[in-house]
Each structure stands twice: as C-alpha cells, then as structure tokens.
Amino acid sequence: MHHTIIAAGKPALKYCKDGTAEYLKRLTRYGKYELKHIKDGSSEDVSKRHLEASQGSIRIVLDERGEQLTTEQLVKKISDWEMRGEKRATYMIGASDGHTPELRDSADLVWALSPLTLQHELALVVLLEQLYRVATIQRGEPYHRV
Ligand SMILES: C[S@@+](CC[C@H](N)C(=O)[O-])C[C@H]1O[C@@H](n2cnc3c(N)ncnc32)[C@H](O)[C@@H]1O
C-alpha cells in the first residue's frame, strides 16, 4: 500500500523537521511513504484540499477528537486494509483551526494520537513514528516493546 501523508502549512520547527526527516528515511526500507505539504489557510480551504488530494484512497483524518488506538489496533487496521487490496492510504493533518465536519464525515478513520491538542508539526512526527513502528511490527523486527 502507498502511504501519503498530507500536512497543512510549511514546516518551520527545526526539531520537527529533523524528526520528520529521520522517520521518512527509516521508512524507505519498508515501502512507499510520501509526505506532501499543502497550503495553509482556513479550515474550509485546507479540508477542501485534503478531500481533493485523497480521492479514491483510504482516508485517515488526524484529529484529537477521534478514535484512540493502541499500536496493535493500528497494525490490525493497516493490515486489514492491505489484505483487502486497498492501494492507497492518505493521512491528513490539519491547520490551526482543524478539519471541517465534511472531511471528518468522509473519513474511514478519524484518529486521535492522544486527547491532547498537539502542534501540527509535532503531530506529524508522532504519526511518522507510529507508521515506522507499525512497519517494524509487520516485519517482526524488534523495535517495538510492549
Ligand atoms: C493545532 S491542531 C488544530 C486544533 C484545532 N483547534 C482543532 O480543533 O482541531 C492542528 C492539527 O494537528 C493535528 N493534531 C493535533 N493534535 C492531534 C492529536 N492529538 N491527534 C491527532 N491529530 C492531532 C490535527 O490534524 C489538527 O488538525
């Protein structure tokens, strides 16, 4: 499955840029993971861009009001999508005002990394680390400890 991560706004925080680069580099061993940045703006504009960019894909909307998952539950969700032949998964990170109800309603999964509101670049790093963790678990590699 091709994983596309779409984040609103230009990256600005050095420690997040470093974290993002680190996990994207690690993920190259495990498949196709692509990060795209889209223009920031109102939640309506950003959610519209997210909707357009994720057409025909499994839609995962990152939102603190969403479902909280254990890493094992995330492994199961991604593995189930792969098993049923889904070709693309798109993970969407919003702007300062979050996502519109329309985008949330269109999602296959509204996923909360935590009930805390995270700075959007920090949310991106946590998302990438979890995708890396999932990939290592799927391969039976010893990164993850329970
Ligand atoms: C600063 S937050 C937006 C907060 C906004 N006030 C709201 O109500 O959604 C920017 C983006 O970071 C992501 N984000 C922040 N905290 C998150 C969390 N705990 N779980 C998942 N995504 C989160 C979401 O994609 C969110 O749209």
DSSP string, 99-137: --HHHHHT-SEEEES-SSPPPHHHHHHHHHHHHHHHHHH
Instruction: Check whether 51 is labelled as a binding-site residue.
Output: no
The rounded percent of the chain whose pLDDT value lies above 70 is 100
Q: Mean pLDDT over residues 29-50, rounded? A: 96
Interface pTM (ipTM) of the complex?
0.98
Evaluate whether residue 97 is within a structural domain: yes
Evaluate whether residue 49 is within a structural domain: yes
In whole angstroms, what is the distance from residue 19 CA to residue 128 CA? 9
In whole angstroms, what is the distance from residue 51 CA to residue 117 CA? 22
The domain that contains 81 carries what CATH number?
A: 3.40.1280.10
Q: Which residue's alpha carbon is at the smallest distance from atom 6 of ligand 1?
A: 97
Residue matched to tokens 């049923």:
84
Evaluate whether residue 143 is within a structural domain: no
Evaluate whether residue 145 is within a structural domain: no
Tell whether ligand 1 has an atom less than 6 A from the beta carbon of residue 9: no
Report how far ligand 1's centroid is from the alpha carbon of 127 (Å).
12
* pLDDT classification of 33: cutoffs 50, 70, 90: very high
- pLDDT number for residue 105: 98
Evaluate whether residue 12 is within a structural domain: yes
Q: Which residue's alpha carbon is at the smallest distance from atom 17 of ligand 1?
A: 64
Report how far ligand 1's centroid is from the alpha carbon of 142 (Å).
30
- pLDDT number for residue 82: 97
Domains contained in the chain, number: 1
- pLDDT number for residue 11: 87
- pLDDT number for residue 35: 98
Which range of residues forms the domain containing residue 27? 2-138
Residue-wise pLDDT tens digits, 70-122: 999 999 999 999 999 999 999 999 989 999 999 999 999 999 999 999 999 99
- pLDDT number for residue 93: 98
- pLDDT number for residue 144: 82
Instruction: Check whether 94 is labelled as a binding-site residue.
Output: yes
- pLDDT number for residue 25: 98
Q: Tell me the residue ranges of DSSP E strands in 9-143.
A: 32-38, 58-68, 88-93, 109-112
Instruction: Check whether 62 is labelled as a binding-site residue.
Output: yes
